Structure 1
């Protein structure tokens, strides 16, 4: 009897774990090209291209996928599970490249031919935003696109060596292009905002005139073809200027209804597409890694003196690590489901947002940027823990752990640098949160842990540490504590004519801690929210509740130092944590088979 079948009849559970009707078809398609690790870039590219073409043939068009975050996330997750390199190529091409065309083109017909060519695999495109010589280069792009009013073309130029772009450029005999992020300069030499430009980088004969591809840059953690790219007069038709609502008049003068800050936010708004679906991919990698590690530990016997011949999973230390990985992967899945919901809601409005602070990311979408940073960090940790618990087998490329870890690790700096996101989240939360109020909100009442007076609009912390609401309530209080601390520190430094740099430079780590806590709180609140949405009863209710409780307890264990140091909790508040963790492991252990099957079925 299939013990998972009744659980999968719950549509909400299937959606929570990233299940989608399209997934099975994609798996069958990708199974025609079994996973292998090519020995060289020359051998790798044809293999990846065959898999990409097959995958594209089995999926709807980019326009259809972008209209349905659930479907888009499912395609990316299946690709990354099958081959992390394929997943990364698809993220760049489908989400950032085609997403920019769909969102920002002046007219859909301007880029119709390119969209269709990418959909069939005839054209490969990337996304070039990072410049090699300067940090935060997206804030002041050195690459320029000068408008030639005579030919009605933009001319891309790299003015200095530091302005060279860095990104993936396929080693592919056909046409290769990229959305290049550059500063527009009109026919009168006036610099405008930062826009995307659809540029053809190479054709079957090689790089186009005006494009210089540097030597391939090796990245062993996620081997694809990365290059430094310099532009020396590459011409881009005006129709391929992703102008959004801007325009050029007959004399070539640029008119943009948006401010420079808001133009940057709008150009980079494709990031919210990535942030909305990336957590689903990362959660899928985390679930698969946990299942692989559990299976490895079930069947690998040990000769250790304590109990020769017993499987690794019989040892409590291994149980703590791997049952914990399953719980953390479940919590990540809850956050991923919420991120997809937020993406769908965010698409309903593209009104001008807030001005950029340290970085534009929170101005594009504060919660989605927070999910991106949190989920990438969590997935990297979960995969690394599972890999480590598999010994030498975890290092073998064929077992995919190195690729899964490389994929998750890549999205610390990629897709919006997570450190910058945390800095800016902390700054933005401080700017909007008046003294004494919780930036997280919540119902009033309850006495905070440690015997301190109740804080306004802070929720009560449940007495039972295993209550799914305990950890979100603790994080809400911790966010309040860190906000008050940062506010005091900023006030101490802000007098005497101090510059913004002098004020914030010593406080960036505090801002990052606040931003990370905000993101963790959002994700923690998603766990009880997800449990409440599931149909009551059934064979999965108890194991999922156990996973939820264990995930919160483990997170508290990891954060115990800061919670005590900043007096969000008193030592007595955590006195029962060890005992609660052991009970949670015992509660989950009888359901391990069901959890393993459930995670694998999705």
Structure 2
């Protein structure tokens, strides 16, 4: 038993470091409050009020007068627990504490006049919201049409929505009775001069309703992620000079605008600096719901039995014994560990970024973690049968959160295309070294260890390098043929996306190898590597045709992978529950009845307490 506990403790280090475990009791106390008891029946306005009551509880519990963005060791665990406790709460929490406070820290640093704003946000007497995207331009943060005009006589700005396409959509600000402050992106105009896109801190509503000139039209949101969506427009709303988050720009007393960034286009791109807070928070929250979904589904599969009425089904057999369930659920378990290790890199004390390569790594990891979260939450829901659709078991909520972040913070596809663009330009990027797998000419396919982590790295690195070569070669030929840049890229978006996805898998391989190599040599490391092999070998098998065409794998290698995946499942099966529990999921916070061994009694108790 002690040996098993030691293995589980070592596996937990893949998910969290020691600083997390020091604050775990504090998190348990915060999240034990009755306000956070799951209430799957809450809908509409009552649901929105509950979300913001929970936000106030969390904020008051940690004294956020000192911004949480400067306390990463506390912020990211709070985001994790909020995500598994209530995805809507997670969304509100990260918007308030990461993007809104982040905008003020990023662009209003050392500015006078923002102290009261930060104090109100720190106490949640005012709740923050982000108003970047506009109805007419989807996810584009560059085509902003909201206008902020400078009034020299009053030294103020007026925020205006000049056309219907400029309506801000869909910020979560429709709930009645809650004072709101929006970080609004708008195009600054000084004496009819376009100065680029800036952020402005704009009061949107108080306890009695929208502020003068602010129009808030409630809209329905997804039932999978209930939020108080709205369309917001402005009719010459006045805000003081101090609420302009001007960064390095300024307007002098005589009305002269100055900015070290020489063009409006350069200034407008700076607004995207804020999105890194979205990427960080999203990646951590998505990894948390991935862990929860995998752990819940694996635990339930050990106590869910078949009735044996169909051919090939044994009577009274736990479904985890079936190979199709193992491949699905152990694969989900493997991907949950991979996502957790990647999120731990993002949540490190020193943020990623500062260089083109660091920013690319951050948003590429956000994109791939979101894809993993979408896949694992869906797999967990499907593998638990009809109970997977029960709101009490949270899996649909987790799936809704994963789907939402496919679009939020730039869509996953756009992030991959941006990554490919920077890779093609060679911006702080070098393709993997040329170390294609060499095979002993006398070795048979069966003698080649496809489960060796070094081999995954070599194969996936070779895929990234060759796709990068193909992409840059195709782009070069297109330019030589005189095509403009749109046409150069337009027919190569699919290739660009595949290149970036290969880069994402290579980043994950490097992260996983580093983390698992840090485990004690022996059974624990071997178990972790065998588990992660399910994730990477499945990816290699999915692209088996490409590896075969490129001569990196033989037909015998590819035919052997399904059998190897089955063997890995056999190796993992005796340890599956330990692996699920080592994902460090707070099951009491999740509140899913099927996470319990006696899930029928857990359901009965849940119904009795409503």
TM-score, normalised with respect to structure 2? 0.88
> In structure 1, which of residues 359, 366, 382 is the aligned counterpart of residue 360 of structure 2?
366
Question: Aligned with 2:227: secondary structure?
Answer: coil
TM superposition shift of 1:601? 5.2
Residues in 1 aligned to 2:556 and 2:507: alpha-carbon distance in whole angstroms: 26
Deviations along 1:173-232, whole A, 9 cap, x unmatched? 13111101111111x111112111111001122111111112323322211111111111
> In structure 1, which of residues 316, 319, 322 is the aligned counterpart of residue 323 of structure 2?
316
> In structure 1, which of residues 137, 141, 145 is the aligned counterpart of residue 144 of structure 2?
141
| Structure 2 counterpart of 1:440 | 431
Mapped contact 1:12–1:533 kept (Cα < 8 A): no
Q: Cα–Cα, structure 1 residues 445 and 567, in superposed 2: closer, same or farther, change >3 Å?
A: closer
Matched, 1:558 2:542: yes
Mapped contact 1:212–1:229 kept (Cα < 8 A): yes
Deviations along 1:47-70, whole A, 9 cap, x unmatched? 222211111122252745212434
Deviations along 1:140-159, whole A, 9 cap, x unmatched? 21111111112211111111
Residues in 2 aligned to 1:16 and 1:280: alpha-carbon distance in whole angstroms: 14
Mapped contact 2:134–2:168 kept (Cα < 8 A): yes
Residues in 2 aligned to 1:510 and 1:99: alpha-carbon distance in whole angstroms: 35
| Structure 1 counterpart of 2:511 | 526
1:21-170 correspondence to structure 2 within 5 Å: 21-32=22-33, 33=35, 34-61=37-64, 63-107=66-110, 109-166=112-169, 167-170=171-174
> In structure 2, which of residues 384, 393, 400 is the aligned counterpart of residue 390 of structure 1?
384
TM superposition shift of 1:165? 0.6
| Structure 2 counterpart of 1:407 | 401
Mapped contact 1:20–1:71 kept (Cα < 8 A): no
| Structure 1 counterpart of 2:200 | 197
Which has the larger displacement, 574-583 or 314-323?
Answer: 574-583
Matched, 1:268 2:298: no
Question: Aligned with 1:130: secondary structure?
Answer: coil
Mapped contact 1:179–1:199 kept (Cα < 8 A): yes
1:121-520 correspondence to structure 2 within 5 Å: 121-166=124-169, 167-186=171-190, 188-259=191-262, 260-304=264-308, 305=310, 306-341=313-348, 344-346=351-353, 349=354, 365-432=359-426, 439-442=430-433, 445=435, 447=437, 463-520=448-505
Deviations along 1:330-361, whole A, 9 cap, x unmatched? 11111112222495253xx4xxx77xxxxxxx
Q: Which runs of 5+ in 2 are unaligned?
A: 442-446, 587-610
Mapped contact 1:20–1:70 kept (Cα < 8 A): no
Mapped contact 1:118–1:124 kept (Cα < 8 A): yes
Residues in 2 aligned to 1:83 and 1:468: alpha-carbon distance in whole angstroms: 36
Which has the larger displacement, 3-12 or 474-483?
Answer: 3-12
Question: Aligned with 1:416: secondary structure?
Answer: coil
Residues in 1 aligned to 2:560 and 2:18: alpha-carbon distance in whole angstroms: 31
TM-score, normalised with respect to structure 1? 0.89
Question: Aligned with 1:481: secondary structure?
Answer: helix
Q: Cα–Cα, structure 1 residues 224 and 88, in superposed 2: closer, same or farther, change >3 Å?
A: same
TM superposition shift of 1:528? 0.6
Question: Aligned with 1:78: secondary structure?
Answer: helix
TM superposition shift of 1:135? 4.1
TM superposition shift of 1:21? 3.1
Residues in 2 aligned to 1:244 and 1:385: alpha-carbon distance in whole angstroms: 44
Mapped contact 1:26–1:55 kept (Cα < 8 A): no
Residues in 2 aligned to 1:231 and 1:77: alpha-carbon distance in whole angstroms: 35
Deviations along 1:271-319, whole A, 9 cap, x unmatched? 2223234322212111111111112211121113320111111212111
Residues in 2 aligned to 1:43 and 1:216: alpha-carbon distance in whole angstroms: 15
Residues in 2 aligned to 1:118 and 1:382: alpha-carbon distance in whole angstroms: 35
Question: Aligned with 1:191: secondary structure?
Answer: strand
TM superposition shift of 1:419? 1.2
Residues in 2 aligned to 1:533 and 1:336: alpha-carbon distance in whole angstroms: 17
Matched, 1:598 2:602: no
Which has the larger displacement, 234-243 or 29-38?
Answer: 29-38
Residues in 1 aligned to 2:330 and 2:432: alpha-carbon distance in whole angstroms: 32
Mapped contact 2:125–2:179 kept (Cα < 8 A): yes
| Structure 2 counterpart of 1:458 | none
Q: Cα–Cα, structure 1 residues 18 and 183, in superposed 2: closer, same or farther, change >3 Å?
A: farther
Q: Which runs of 5+ in 1 are unaligned?
A: 355-361, 452-461
Q: Cα–Cα, structure 1 residues 411 and 601, in superposed 2: closer, same or farther, change >3 Å?
A: closer
